[in-house]
Amino acid sequence: MSASEAPPPPLLAMRGITKRFPGVTALSEVSLHLRAGEVLALVGENGAGKSTLMKILGGAQQPDEGEICIEGRPVSLHGVPEAKRQGIALIHQELMLAPNLDIASNIFLGSERSGSMLNPLRRRAMSSKAAALLRRVGLNISPQTPVFTLTAGQMQMVEIAKALSANARIIIMDEPTSSLTAGESERLFEIIHQLRTDGIGIIYISHRMAEVLALADRITVLRDGHYVGDLSRTEATHDGIVAMMVGRALVNAYFPEKRAASSLAPDPSLDVRDLVVEGAPAGVSFTALRGEILGFAGLIGSGRTELMEALFGAKPARAGKILLEGKPFAPRKVADAIRRGVYLAPEDRKRHGLVLPMSVASNTSLPDVANYNRWGWLDRQRERRIAEAEVKLLRTKTPSIRQKVVNLSGGNQQKVVLGKWLAMSPKVLILDEPTRGIDVGAKAEIYRHIFTLAGQGITILLVSSDMEEIIGMSDRVVVMHERRLKGVLTGESLTQERIATLMMGRADIAA
């Protein structure tokens, strides 16, 4: 082939990228390439190096070794602004919008002056450009709309519009559907297809294999900071991707075998009667048995999280009665619930579940610190022993228990949240979206452990937006719609179709 017939260089090429942190090599000679108009899925277990690689591409971190080329031209991405100038946009899992500003201000935040102090972007022009960008992503809404009034799906579209405003040619999407409804996810997929048609290269990071298989033209797999290989759309299968991610076939997919309903202890652990939370039009009643995994399904805004926060004492209940092991339970604050053995692993682990600058060990001992007291001092030996036991039990990937939690991957942060509560022997453990952003291998471990806890007589309240998870894990499922209990499903009625029907508020089914 002559030089004139040689194929053009890829839009993006990362070669031999290595990144070291104290005590750990996060990336070791990792390579990745992306062509214009391609959707490249980047997959791997938590701790595989995906986030570090994307932070390097986004200019937030610098590699110790390796090179980055855009359209065959080597570039040095010293900082996020330089990456943006090169046409690279990173849309984080936790969306980076200013909720107190309107849509137009968010889209052009930092670019209001169009590169010149003497040439500011006027408000009318900013609104006009924002409206055009919103039309491009299919969001029919005024640019003057405050961001705090938007749904998670609408915020996602604003982030994409923001990337397009900077003429991004490479867009990185990190777990973009983790907080979206099914309808919002479908709309996002339509936008991704349109962006691909426009010649934009997309790096799509997700632990949801169905999305990866449906969207990706090609899949790049990382494991333990190393490049494992690429799979084309025609080569990729669910089991094949998982085997590359974890280094082995994942036997039994995710879920351990369910117990027979008759094997559950008949005595109630938690009895909730006409509990009314803020904003709810009526009370909610349900009973959770000792050792039962009771699932809670519903769309965003259905009231699941608010109900769990009331049980945990994080938000007050307006009315109703709760019995815990037959005795009155009315937590006015979180400490009341903890004292009675009711614990919550929250949906937003970074804001409500962890103190990020503190170590794994300190986070583990924090909710029970009074019991680590030894002659007025913190018993560091006991703290170390318990933290190490929980790290081993949950297979948390960390260089040591003294590692700051902020330096761990999202899935391993979630394991620290679970570990701190498991160390305290809960009676009722509330798990709100426990596997969001967690890879398939870690999911399987957490699922097996949840089954073990239930087998030990601990009552599990499982809140999840993952239909496969809620069906595969739950003995029964409580379905909520607009802060009302719509029905309780079990046995043969526990199907995706029946749950979806109730979630949409179409019918009531008796417990």
For residue range 226-249, list pLDDT tens digits in order: 999 999 989 988 878 878 887 755
pLDDT category at 511 given cuts 50, 70, 90 is very low
The dihedral built from the CA positions of residue 14, 18, 20 and 24, taken in this order, carries a sign that is positive
Chain center to CA of 421 = 20
In this model, does residue 250 exceed pLDDT 90? no
CATH 3.40.50.300 segments of the chain: 7-246, 255-341+426-511
pTM: 0.62
The residue-averaged pLDDT of 42-66 equals 89
* Segment 73-77 mean pLDDT: 94
Q: What's the whole-number mean pLDDT along residues 97-109?
A: 89
Mean pLDDT of the chain: 85
Residues 261 and 293: their CA atoms lie apart, in Å, by 11
pLDDT at 116 over 60: no
Say which CATH superfamily domain 255-341+426-511 falls into: P-loop containing nucleotide triphosphate hydrolases (3.40.50.300)
Which residue reads 């809620």 in tokens? 470
Give the model's pLDDT for residue 121. 57
pLDDT at residue 397, as a whole number: 83
> What pLDDT is stored for residue 345 in this prediction?
87
- Give me the phi and psi of 91, to 5 degrees please: -100, 110
pLDDT beyond 80 at 34? yes
pLDDT the model gives residue 466: 80
Element of type H or E holding 65: strand 65-70
Task: Give the per-residue pLDDT at 117.
Answer: 44
pLDDT single digits (tens) 257-295: 777 665 666 788 999 999 998 878 888 999 999 999 999
Q: Residue 112 — very low, low, confident or very high, per pLDDT cuts 50/70/90?
A: low
The two three-digit tokens of residue 355, written as one number = 């103190």
Amino acid identity at 26: A
Of the pLDDT bands very low, low, confident and very high (cuts 50, 70, 90), residue 383 is confident
Q: Which residues contact 77 (CB under 8 A, 6 or more apart)?
A: 56, 57, 58, 59, 62, 68, 83, 86, 88
C-alpha 31 chain-centroid distance = 25
Phi-psi region of 457 (alpha: psi -120 to 50; beta: other; left: phi over 0): left
Residue 62 pLDDT exceeds 70: yes
User: How many residues are listed for the chain in this entry?
Assistant: 511
pLDDT band for position 172 (cuts 50, 70, 90): very high
What value does the CA radius of gyration of the chain take, rounded to a whole number of Å? Answer: 24
Check residue 413 and give its pLDDT.
85
pLDDT band at 155 (very low <50, low <70, confident <90, very high): confident
Q: Binning pLDDT at 50, 70 and 90, where does residue 115 land?
A: very low
| Dihedral Cα 263, 269, 273, 279, nearest 10 deg | -100
Residue indicated by tokens 């109703």: 320
Tens digit of each residue's pLDDT (9 = 90 or more) over 353-370? 888 899 999 988 887 777
> Domain 7-246 carries which CATH code?
3.40.50.300
Q: Is 466 exposed, middle or buried (0-12, 13-18, 19+ CB in 10 A)?
A: middle
CB atoms within 10 A of CB 234: 5
Percent of the chain whose pLDDT exceeds 90? 40
